Chains A and B, each alone.
Chain A
Amino acid sequence: MSTPEQAVPRFRPGVKLRFDPVRKAWVVLAPERLFLPDEQAVEILKLVDGARNLGAIADDLAARFAAPREIIIADVGAILGDLAEKGAIAL
């Protein structure tokens, strides 16, 4: 699925990204649901603030991780697209 770089993702109402000190892991808490995102998804979700668009999120990740920007943007789109389908993210 391809999402335009200008799209600004945000957490839908009632959805929270939180660090759980017991599991020592990040969790996404949502109405009657919870997700345990993997490391890559966590890095992306930490940048979801309702202001940055997909392109800006990819720029930030590309500057910090050794991977080509095209691959990163595709991953960002796929991971956020998946969470959008599950009702956790609005795109």
Chain B
Amino acid sequence: MTGFEPPMGLIVELTHRCPLQCPYCSNPLALERVGDELSTAEWQRVIDEAAKIGILQFHFTGGEPTARRDLPDLVRHASQAGLYTNIITSGVQLDDRMMEALVAAGIDHIQLSFQDVDPENADRIAGYRGAHAKKLAAAARIHAAGLPLTLNFVVHRQNIANVPRMIALAEGLGAARTEIAQVQYYGWGFKNRASLLPSQGELDATTATVEAARLRLKGQMVIDYVIPDYYARRPKSCMGGWARRFINISPAGKAMPCHAAETLPGFVFPSVRETSLAEIWQHDPAFLRFRGTDWMPEPCQSCDRREIDWGGCRCQAFALTGDAARTDPACELAPDHAVMAAAIAERGDAPADFIYRRYGNNDAPAPLKDAVS
């Protein structure tokens, strides 16, 4: 093994197609089209390259990964290459046939995302009638197949009061893991920030709920909890540091250190169609740009947390300051930290209507400032 330490995980956005329209979707505003997607053979080659450079876990996501008919074939290929296979799905297309095919292919784990526990509100947030009922059926299928089940709840001001019921639902469905993950404000989430950002009080109550549940469920169910950066004192270690642990690949084969990196101007990300994963990981300028600590400005440069949080998130720094090379404003020590309080002040008393995630909904965007003021 030479060069920089190998990456741990590959996050593969198989497609940007999805029947749902969550207003916080992590996909880019400019969704990629089906005609540009990598072929089965191209993905199989990427899987082989991933195994060779030391990738351990392979995360199939989207869009909706089950929208790709070849998903079971790709899972089988990854599994035979010795990779740990994980699918992140909305579950609305996870019928008996797909489930059987995935189990036969050797899938290791399925993460099922939920919009809420209240069916009506869940379907409203998803922009898809009947989604919640289909998810419950999918959860039962995963459990019956003997697979470990993770429930993922994306939490925001329009469902945060239901967190206690979310944990109860996860317990009832036999989940081994639950994620209570606050919306991350990039792309679609950033566009809808005023409609999604909870208040400090709502956040504190949720944190207390999660802490109590963790104690009670120790050894039975793991609860992962992500708070919104807007109320944090220090930034999170985004992706475990820029280009340190993960590679994210878009449906058309663009390789990036994280799914939101596409928002950064001045970057040309390499394509797995033209460049090998090994070459990308070791030498691509976009991957090297923020790897490590050399690029850091003060106060990060002389901070003892610089190899813990790696200066926070580059995409958030860009979204909030216009410069990706600044300290993440989520950090209290950052010169731009005041923008977090300003964003909280913009929430308003009642949430604005969602701008749903769909093809075409990004064509004539109102600038965010106009949309929230």
Contacts and interface: CB of A to CB of B under 8 A. Distances in A.
The 3 closest A-B pairs by CB, nearest first: A14-B148, A22-B54, A87-B222
A32 B111 contact: yes
A27 B146 CA distance: 23
A20 B51 CA distance: 10
Give the residue among A23, A86, A87, A91 with the most B Cβ atoms within 10 A.
A87
B219 A84 contact: yes
Give the residue among A14, A18, A22, A87 with the most B Cβ atoms within 10 A.
A14
B6 interface: yes
A2 to B, nearest CB: 15
Give the residue among A22, A27, A91 with the most B Cβ atoms within 10 A.
A22
Given A13-B176, A31-B150, 8 more contacts: A12-B176, A14-B109, A31-B176, A32-B111, A34-B8, A85-B219, A87-B176, A87-B221
Interface string B177-190: 10000000000000
A16 B84 contact: yes
Contacts of A29: 56-57, 84, 108
A31 B219 contact: no
B224 interface: yes
Contacts, number: 61
B237 interface: no
Give the residue among A15, A16, A91 with the most B Cβ atoms within 10 A.
A15
Chain B: number of interface residues, binned into ranges: 20 to 34
12 contacts: A12-B148, A12-B176, A14-B148, A16-B84, A18-B82, A23-B1, A31-B111, A31-B177, A34-B84, A85-B219, A87-B177, A87-B219
Nearest to A86: B222
Contacts of B222: 86-87
Interface string A22-40: 1110010101101000000
Nearest to A87: B222
Contact of B6 (A15, A23, A86, A87): A23
A43 to B, nearest CB: 21
Contact of A20 (B56, B150, B176, B221): B56
Nearest to B177: A31
Interface in B141-158: 146-148, 150
A20 to B, nearest CB: 6
A86 B221 CA distance: 9
Contacts of A12: 148, 176
A31 to B, nearest CB: 4
B362 interface: no
B54 A31 contact: no
A1 B99 CA distance: 40
A31 B112 CA distance: 12
Interface in B68-108: 82, 84, 86, 108
